[in-house]
């Protein structure tokens, strides 16, 4: 009786664990330090949001930004930003939908960061969020 079984999953628990580890590695190619940096920035940018939910929203938007699933073709960068905005508005809690520019600013910054993990300051991210809010 100690086994968990999901009727809608065709993966064994071991396969599911391996899939989650693979997703985590692809989500944070610079390792645990990158995840820790993102979590720290999320705590400062959206303190009202519980960290697991904030991370889920961030990763959902970031996957669209990276076009991980190959579902979209973008002729202009603003098209990509608009699609990420739509994704964020879908996954964010209704009372926190106004946070979408903060998430989008962090997603943009993360896309440009290298292994040295030099993220912009929280103030710079907030300023970029205001720009995004005005243009999208």
pLDDT digits (tens, 9 = 90+) for 81-126: 888 999 999 988 888 899 999 999 999 999 889 999 999 999 999 9
pTM for this model (two decimals): 0.83
Tokens found for residue 123: 């103030």
Tokens found for residue 67: 């076009």
42-59: buried (b, 16+ CB within 10 Å) or exposed (e) per residue? beebbeebeeeebbebbb
Asked whether residue 1 carries a pLDDT value surpassing 50, the answer given is no
Q: Give the whole-angstrom CA distance, residue 52 versus residue 73.
A: 30
How many CB atoms neighbour CB 10 within 10 A?
Answer: 7
Asked whether residue 33 carries a pLDDT value surpassing 90, the answer given is yes
Asked whether residue 27 carries a pLDDT value surpassing 90, the answer given is no
Instruction: Pick the closest to residue 61 from 114, 100, 3 (CA basis).
Output: 100
CB contact set of 100 (below 8 Å; sequence gap of 6+): 85, 88, 89, 92
């Amino acid at each position: 009786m100690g086994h968990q079984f999901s009727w809608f999953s065709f993966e064994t628990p071991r396969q599911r664990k391996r899939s989650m580890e693979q997703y985590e590695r692809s989500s944070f190619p610079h390792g645990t330090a990158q995840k820790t940096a993102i979590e720290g920035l999320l705590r400062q940018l959206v303190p009202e949001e519980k960290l697991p939910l904030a991370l889920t929203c961030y990763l959902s938007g970031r996957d669209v930004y990276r076009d991980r699933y190959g579902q979209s073709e973008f002729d202009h960068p603003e098209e990509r930003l608009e699609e990420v905005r739509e994704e964020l508005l879908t996954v964010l809690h209704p009372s926190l939908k106004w946070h979408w520019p903060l998430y989008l600013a962090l997603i943009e910054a993360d896309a440009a960061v290298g292994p040295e993990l030099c993220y912009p300051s929280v103030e710079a991210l907030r300023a970029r969020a205001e720009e995004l809010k005005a243009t999208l």
